[in-house]
Structure 1
Amino acid sequence: MTPQGMERESFVAVQKNGDGDLTAFKTSSGRVLNYEQAREEVNLGQIQGVNLFKGRDGELYIRGDADGDPSNNLDNLPQF
Structure 2
Amino acid sequence: METIVAVERNYLGEIISFKTSNERIISYRKALLEAEEGLLDGIRLCEASYEEGQALIIEDTFAEYPLI
Return the structure number with greater helix share.
1
TM-score in terms of structure 1 length:
0.73
Instruction: Please list the CA deviations of residues 6-31 of structure 1 after superposition, one character each: whole Å capped at 9, or x if unmatched.
Output: xx100000001111111100000100
Counterpart residue number, 1:14: 7
Q: Return the alpha-carbon distance in structure 2 between the equivalents of residues 37 and 60 of structure 1.
A: 12
State the 4+ residue runs in structure 1 displaced beyond 4 angstroms. none
Counterpart residue number, 1:43: 36
> Residue 77 in 1 paired to residue 65 in 2?
yes
Q: Which one-letter code corresponds to 1:44 in the other structure?
A: E
Equivalent residue pairs, number? 65
TM-score in terms of structure 2 length:
0.84
Which 5+ residue runs of structure 2 have no aligned equivalent? none
Identity of aligned residues (%): 31
